[in-house]
Amino acid sequence: MEVRLVNMLEQYYASEHIPLKLEILNEEDADANTKLDIALYGQDVPGYAVQIEDGTEKTSNAGVEETRLDGLPVGTIPNSKSSKATITIDPVDGPIVLELIVRARYHLVSDPGTPIIQQATYNLNIVNPFEASYDLSPRLHSEWPSYFNPEDIQDPSEGDEVVRRPRGLAQKWSLATRYASFAHEDLAILGLDVNILSTQGNVSCKASKGQPPVADDAVISPKTIEEAQFELIAQKFDLDDRSPATADLAFIIKWRRLTSPKDTVNTTILPLPRFFVTVSEPRVLASVSYYSPPNPPATSSSSPPPQLLFLDITIENPSSHFLTFGVGDGAERRVRVLGR
């Protein structure tokens, strides 16, 4: 009796279901009545399901160091014939090495009193398909709440529950994520997102979708780096609360192997370090815009038409103190700005 995996890959990835095709080949001189024992060993072992060719299916729950299914009936395998089974391992959150032991216990129809055991052992190396780095940069938030609108005095209600609405200062950030593929093959990228896991400091935080959006045929190759941009808007619930606040975020990558069915969606969740999403220190923000005159002066054909450049500087002082700012243009001319 030979027990073998017929489609074992060199590398498997976290967050994907792992299907393993198992073949039990009867090379005895007589038919064999067979049962299977499946055992999975490791640390924080995931659950799995076993589907026998005739339709019998059983599942095993996750375990700390081991999980197993014993005595799965395969039935009688004729001489020189084979029976098949599929072992589908549940997705894991991170890299792990698993040891899979498949044991076929059988006896020949011509000799039912003699039990025979054939065993095969496989090591499954599961790795993270992606790694990422992150940068959080301040951005200008132009939408400020109105503190003189009578409709904003009371929080809205949904049924019997009052929905608390943030009314404090708001700050905007740009989150740049650079993610690299550690897979051995090209992977299709189906979607990118950022989730707000939790906030600390009486603050509301929202994240936008990535810009630019992921193309339908986006593919990332091994050992390449791609970048995605997100916007975060954080707003304190109370106007008089000027203390800093933080948020725990997660970068979400939805992907599939190019060889997988089109409806396959794997989700990799990469936790981000805790970021300050509102700060009590002043921020100086600059924005640039361009203007082309309607009747520009004539220039040579090789020269672009002249443009006017507008530089807007915004000073945010989220603290509860009056602060004096100095603005210089590099020519020793100074402007004093008093702001709060």
The reply to whether 2-127 and 130-279 are identical in fold is yes
Tokens linked to 264: 């396959």
Domain limits, the chain = 2-127, 130-279, 284-339
CATH of domain 130-279: 2.60.40
Q: Which tokens hold the place of 28?
A: 């005895």
Task: Find all residues with CB under 8 Å of 244, minimum gap 6, and list them.
Answer: 201, 276, 278, 279, 280
In one-letter notation, the amino acid at residue 89 is: I
Which residues sit opposite 337 in a β-bridge?
325
Euclidean distance between CA atoms 134 and 207, whole angstroms:
15
pTM assigned to the model: 0.80
Which tens digit of pLDDT belongs to each residue from 250-306?
999 999 999 888 889 999 999 999 999 999 888 888 888 888 877 766 665 666 677
Specify the CATH architecture of the domain 2-127: Sandwich (2.60)
In Å, how far are 170, 171, 320 from 279, measured between CA atoms?
10, 8, 12
Half-sphere exposure for 177 (CA within 13 Å, toward CB) = 26
**pLDDT tens track for 194-238:** 999 999 999 999 998 866 677 777 899 999 999 999 999 999 988
